[in-house]
Amino acid sequence: MSAGLVHRYIPNTAPGVREQMLAEIGVGSVDEIYEEIPAELRFAGRLDLQQEPRSEADVAREITAILGKNRTTDDLLSFLGAGCWPHYAPALVAEVMGRSEFLTAYGGIEVNDHGRFLAVFEYQSMMGDLLEMDVVAAAVYDGTTASGDAIHMASRITGRKELVLPRLMDPDRLSALLNYNGPWFTPVFVEFDPATGLMDLADLTAKLSDRTAAVYLENPTYLGTVETQAAEISRIAHAAGALLIAHVNPASLGVLAPPGQYDADIACGDGQPLGLPISCGGARLGVLACKNEVRFVHTLPMTMVGILPTTVPGERAYTWHALFDRIFYGEREAARSFSGTSSFLNAIGAGVYMALLGPSGMVDLGTANMQKAAYAARRIGGLQGVKAPVFAGPHFNEFVVDFSGTGKSAAEVNAALLERGILGGKDVTKEFPALGAAALYCVTENHTQSEIDRLVDAIGEVTR
C-alpha cells in the first residue's frame, strides 16, 4: 500500500522510497506490521478531523486569524501579576533561546551537549549567587511544583508529618501542593497579622512541635508584602528542629534578603520574571536550591548539572549524570516526584538575563520594582474611598487595593477599566473575602510613570 502522500515534514514520502524499504523489511505493506495490534483493537473508522494536510501558508493564515481575536497586553495597559509578572524581556534572551541547537536538543551526553550543560550550569551558578545557596537544580516545571519538591525533600529528610504554611497563600498553589504533598503531610496554617499580611509569629510558635518537618514561607507574600520577619521565622523553625523552606521571587533578590542570608535550608520560586515572557502563563521556570549537605543534595529529586573530571587531566565535563538514579528514573516505585522533561530552555534564557543585568542590574531591577509599586500604591491610595496598599509595610511589586469605600466591587472596577483599555489587578475578593472589594495590582520596572498616572486617573473616574 502506498498512500502517495508527499509531506514536507516527512523526507521518505518522496516517490519510490516506501516500496524499497518495505521490500527490505520483507513485508508487502505496513499493515502487516500493524497486525501486532489485534484486529479488534485496530481503529477502522474515520476521524472527525480535517483530513488533508495544509500548506505552511494556510496554517499561518488560519492560526493568525484565530489569534487575532485576542487582545494583548501590548494593546491593553495591564496591571495583572499574581504569579505571572510582566517584566521587560531583553532581546538577547529570545535570541539565545531561539538558537536551533538549544531549542531542539534533548538527551545528548557530555561529549556532544557540552554547551547546553555549560549554559545550564551557569544558570544554576548565577541563581545560586542570587539566592546565596550552594546547590541549584537545573530546572523544575514552575514555582509551584518547585515548592512541592522542596516540601517532599523536607518530609524525606526529617521523617516528620506536619508542614507549617502561611494562611495567606495563592489558593491555586495551595491546591497543587495538596495534590502533590497531600498524602505525606498534614498542613498546619499560620494566621497572618491583619495589619501587615505577614506571619503571626506568636501563632507560628504555638503551631510548631516535634511533628513539624518544615516551615514554608513566601517572600514576597502572595499579596505582595515583604516578609520582613524571615530571619526570625528561620530562627524559630530551626529551634523546633524543623527545616526552613523559602519560596522567593528571584527578581527581588538584588534588594531583598536572599534565602541564604536567613539560613533557609531549601529555596524555591519561579524564574519567569527573569526575562521570560508572560505567554499566557506558559513560560515557567521552577527554581529549586538547597544547602550543600548530603541529606539535602541526595533528596533533591531533579536533574542538576555538575562539573566532573574527564579522562584528560584538567578538562571539565559539565554533566547531569552525577547520581542520576536518585531521581525518579532510578527510583521508580519509591519516588515522590514527576518531573522528567522540565524547563531547561527557560533556565538558559534566565541565565542570559542574569548575565546581562549583572549584580548592579539586579539591584536596579529590585529597586525600580519597589519604587514604582510604592508610587502606584501611594497614588491609588490617595483616591476617595480607595484603600491602597491594604497592608502596611514594604511591598515588592504587588499590593492589594480595596474599593469597598467606593461602593464598587473589584469586578465592577475591572469591567469599567477594561472599557478604558486597562486590565486592572487580579480580583481576589473570592479568595480573601475579609479583605473587602480587593484586587491585587502588579507594577514593575516596565510600567512608566505616565502609565501609572493613567491608571490612577482611570480608577478615580470609574469609582467616582
Partner 1 sequence: MTTIDPKSPAAEGAPADRYLEYSAIDTGYRAVRWHEKTLYEQSRPGSTNAILPAVEKGIVDAVGDVVAALPAAARRARPPEMPELSEPEILRHYIRCSQMTYGYDSGNSMGLGTCTMKYSPRINEQLAALPEVKALHPLQPEETIQGILEIMYGMRNWLCELAGMDEVTFQPRGGGHGAFTDACMIRAYHHARGEDFRDEIITCAVSHPCNPATASAAGFKVISLYPDEVTGELGIDALRAAISDRTAGIMMTAPYDTGVFDSQIAEYARLVHEAGGVVSLDQANFNGVMTRMRAGDLGADMVHFNLHKTFSTPHGSYGPGAGAVAVKKAFRDFLPVPVVEFDGSRYHLNSDLSNSIGKVGTFMGMVPNVVKAYAWVLAMGAEGLREASEWAVINNNYLIKKLLEVRGLDISWPNRRKLQEARFSLAKLHDETGVGTLDFNYRLADFGVQTYFESHVPRIVPEPVTPEPTESISKEDVDQFVAAFHHISAEAYSNPEIVLTAPHRSIVHREIHDYENLTQVPFTWRVWKRTHPDG
For residues 335-354, which are near ligand PLP according to CB under 6 A? 340-341
Q: State yes or no: residue 189 binds partner 1 (CB under 8 A).
A: no
Question: Which x/- pattern over 434-453 shows residues binding partner 1 (rule: CB under 8 A)?
Answer: -----------xx-xx--x-
Residue placing its CB nearer to ligand PLP in the complex, 283 or 459: 283
| Cis, bond preceding 250 (omega within 30 deg of 0) | no
Q: State yes or no: residue 332 binds partner 1 (CB under 8 A).
A: yes
Burial 132-160 (b: 16+ CB within 10 A, else e): bbebbbbbbbbbbbbbbbbbbbbbbbbeb
**Smallest gap, in angstroms, from Cβ of residue 164 to partner 1?**
20
The residue from 158, 212, 303, 429 that contacts partner 1 (CB under 8 A) is: 303
Rg (the chain; Cα; Å): 26
Q: State yes or no: residue 186 binds partner 1 (CB under 8 A).
A: no
Return the C-alpha cell found at 394: 514594604
Closest CA to 204 of 156, 168, 155, 247: 168
The residues that bridge with 115 in the sheet, in sequence order, are none
Q: State yes or no: residue 215 binds partner 1 (CB under 8 A).
A: no
| Alpha helices in 89-142, H assignment, sequence order | 91-97, 100-104, 114-131
**Smallest gap, in angstroms, from Cβ of residue 208 to partner 1?**
20
Residue placing its CB nearer to partner 1 in the complex, 32 or 210: 32
| Cis, bond preceding 90 (omega within 30 deg of 0) | no
Residue 206 near which of ligand PLP, partner 1, none (CB within 5-8 Å, type-dependent): none
Could you tell me which residues come within 8 angstroms of residue 437 by beta carbon, excluding any fewer than 6 positions away? 402, 403, 404, 406, 408, 409, 410, 413, 429
* Number of residues counted as binding ligand PLP (CB under 6 A): 2
- How far CA 156 is from CA of 213, 304, 336, in Å, comes to 9, 19, 10
Residue 209 near which of ligand PLP, partner 1, none (CB within 5-8 Å, type-dependent): none
Q: State yes or no: residue 107 binds ligand PLP (CB under 6 A).
A: no
For residues 347-406, which are near partner 1 according to CB under 8 A? 348, 352, 354-368, 370-372, 374-375, 378, 394
3-state secondary structure of 184: helix
What does the alpha-carbon distance between residue 334 and residue 350 come to, in Å, rounded to a whole number? 32
Strands 286-290 and 135-136: antiparallel
Q: State yes or no: residue 108 binds ligand PLP (CB under 6 A).
A: no
**Smallest gap, in angstroms, from Cβ of residue 253 to partner 1?**
7
Q: State yes or no: residue 330 binds ligand PLP (CB under 6 A).
A: no
The residue from 134, 191, 203, 263 that contacts partner 1 (CB under 8 A) is: 134
Dihedral of CA 344/158/148/362: which sign? negative
Q: State yes or no: residue 431 binds partner 1 (CB under 8 A).
A: no
Residue placing its CB nearer to ligand PLP in the complex, 341 or 450: 341
Residue 305 near which of ligand PLP, partner 1, none (CB within 5-8 Å, type-dependent): partner 1
Q: State yes or no: residue 333 binds partner 1 (CB under 8 A).
A: yes
3-state secondary structure of 440: strand
Amino acid, res. 118: L
Q: State yes or no: residue 106 binds ligand PLP (CB under 6 A).
A: no
Q: State yes or no: residue 49 binds partner 1 (CB under 8 A).
A: yes
Residue placing its CB nearer to partner 1 in the complex, 128 or 197: 128
What does the alpha-carbon distance between residue 420 and residue 423 come to, in Å, rounded to a whole number? 9
Amino acid, res. 58: D
Q: State yes or no: residue 382 binds ligand PLP (CB under 6 A).
A: no
How crowded is residue 188: how many other Cβ atoms within 10 Å of its Cβ?
Answer: 16
**Smallest gap, in angstroms, from Cβ of residue 389 to partner 1?**
12
Q: State yes or no: residue 64 binds partner 1 (CB under 8 A).
A: yes
Could you tell me which residues come within 8 angstroms of residue 167 by beta carbon, excluding any fewer than 6 positions away? 189, 190, 191, 192
Residue 280 near which of partner 1, ligand PLP, none (CB within 5-8 Å, type-dependent): partner 1
Residue numbers of the site for ligand PLP (CB under 6 A)? 340-341
